[in-house]
Chains A and B, each alone.
Chain A
């Protein structure tokens, strides 16, 4: 079984994402958690890129890593970190609480095993889908769901604007 350079990058970036995601979950300092999350996003972007979707990979970097997590970081930075440190560790005598998540994790692992069984070592074919193909799919074939999604975002935007607005008594606008 031979590995191409694509395979090496794919598995390398995938493993990187798994490790950084685990670190993101287990960090108690929110800034470190977010930084690991960003690195995990970058790893996933690389995976998507190698799979032949450069446009989706770019959006992953620009939107998730470049905008969404920056906003999270912005908010976290404004809070007082001393109060934010939370102990996420498992307390003694409360391991019952782990039953449901444990069952979920085991079932996901089994599902992944079934989904991937017999796929390892097979020749993988990569074909690239360029930005224009994605654009045609989104803005011609899927125009209605896309527009509905944008309406939803607009509603969320208006809601946020309304919530953030100061009342007239408390100051201007």
Chain B
């Protein structure tokens, strides 16, 4: 019985995340339209709120075409890997109010890092199995970019782990009762958030897709729901990054009056909107700029943050 309940619990959370991610595709276009002084999708339903349903109907009934030159098994597996690895990482997010699945896992943060590093395979395989130049270039870019940024993402979050004394995300949230980690770990947060954007290959770091030079990058050859899975995976990645930023640096569900889950949702939506704003505001860097930015600026920053955190903790005798 408890197994069945746990299964239904996980299923409900997954459905909620996928629905939210699909819904975000509408939010993004609408908000971008607002910022860019145009309408955005506003026709289907009130203020265009049913646009998602229209898009879903369309994308499900599109022809699901696999190119004859593609490597079929890996071509099919790639979008599944992308979506599954992102969705699995939601298991450790400490939403509070019993919504989370294993928020108290003692290696929760490492589980998240592991799942993000596995999502590289989806993108790389999509690029390779398509057997097309654009896709392959996109996949290679993704591999190099995600591995590079993963390194200092891990180093950046270690500052939080040191202060909270645990990889357990619930304990990390509990350690922020008095002060949110954004204050002592500001540079850690910068490095983490920028790495997170690169991991989710969101604009401005969406060079694996790079429309103006690579067609659609690693998913050039994908159509119908396979493309849809990449798309939903990307938006689920945005939600994941936002939720994890809140849990690690912005006190998780801590806040007055409302229950934790409401605060968690409010803070996360702030970051989701902020990520969309970044897309509206920032141009895309060149690829070598992206790499040197990661290795020569963010990596030393993360290491420095780690060293200073350790030094201060020793000085304060914690």
Please list the residues of chain A having a beta carbon within 8 angstroms of any beta carbon in chain B.
31, 35, 38, 54-55, 57-59, 61-62, 65-67, 70-71, 73-74, 77-78, 128, 130-132
B140 touches A78 (CB 8 A): yes
A131 touches B107 (CB 8 A): yes
B114 touches A70 (CB 8 A): no
Whole-angstrom CA separation of A80 from B110 in the bound complex: 35
A61 touches B117 (CB 8 A): yes
B118-152 interface bits toward A, Cβ cutoff 8 Å, 1 = contact, 0 = none: 10110011011000000010011001100100100
B167 touches A131 (CB 8 A): yes
B124 touches A62 (CB 8 A): no
A131 touches B128 (CB 8 A): no
A62 touches B147 (CB 8 A): no
Whole-angstrom CA separation of A55 from B166 in the bound complex: 12
Main secondary structure of the interface of B (DSSP, over half): helix
B120 touches A61 (CB 8 A): no
A77 touches B124 (CB 8 A): yes
Residues facing A in B205-225 (CB within 8 A) are none
Would you give the shortest CB distance from A173 to chain B, in whole angstroms? Answer: 12
- Chain B residue contacts of A31, Cβ below 8 A: 71, 74, 128
Whole-angstrom CA separation of A56 from B116 in the bound complex: 17
Would you give the shortest CB distance from B3 to chain A, in whole angstroms? Answer: 9
Pull 17 A–B residue pairs with CB atoms less than 8 Å apart, ordered by A. A31-B71, A31-B74, A54-B105, A58-B110, A58-B111, A58-B113, A61-B118, A62-B110, A65-B114, A66-B116, A66-B150, A71-B147, A74-B147, A130-B106, A131-B107, A131-B166, A132-B165
Whole-angstrom CA separation of A77 from B166 in the bound complex: 38
B110 touches A70 (CB 8 A): no
* Chain B residue at smallest Cβ distance from A59: B110
Known: A70-B143, A73-B124, A77-B140. A62 touches B107 (CB 8 A): no
Please list the residues of chain B having a beta carbon within 8 angstroms of any beta carbon in chain A.
71, 74, 105-107, 110-111, 113-114, 116-118, 120-121, 124-125, 127-128, 136, 139-140, 143-144, 147, 150, 154, 165-167
6 more CB-based (< 8 A) A-B contacts, given A55-B107, A65-B114, A73-B143? A31-B128, A38-B121, A61-B118, A66-B117, A70-B117, A70-B124
Would you give the shortest CB distance from B287 to chain A, in whole angstroms? Answer: 15
Known: A74-B124, A77-B124. A62 touches B117 (CB 8 A): yes
- Chain A residue contacts of B120, Cβ below 8 A: 66, 70
Which of A35, A54, A70, A130 touches B74 (beta carbons < 8 Å)? A35
- Chain A residue contacts of B105, Cβ below 8 A: 54
* Chain A residue at smallest Cβ distance from B139: A77
A74 touches B114 (CB 8 A): no
- Chain B residue contacts of A77, Cβ below 8 A: 124, 127-128, 136, 139-140, 143
Known: A35-B74, A77-B136, A77-B139. A67 touches B111 (CB 8 A): no
* Chain A residue at smallest Cβ distance from B144: A74
Would you give the shortest CB distance from A169 to chain B, in whole angstroms? Answer: 22
A67 touches B107 (CB 8 A): no
Interface centre among A62, A73, A78 (most CB of B within 10 A): A62
Whole-angstrom CA separation of A128 from B107 in the bound complex: 12
B113 touches A62 (CB 8 A): yes
Whole-angstrom CA separation of A58 from B154 in the bound complex: 13
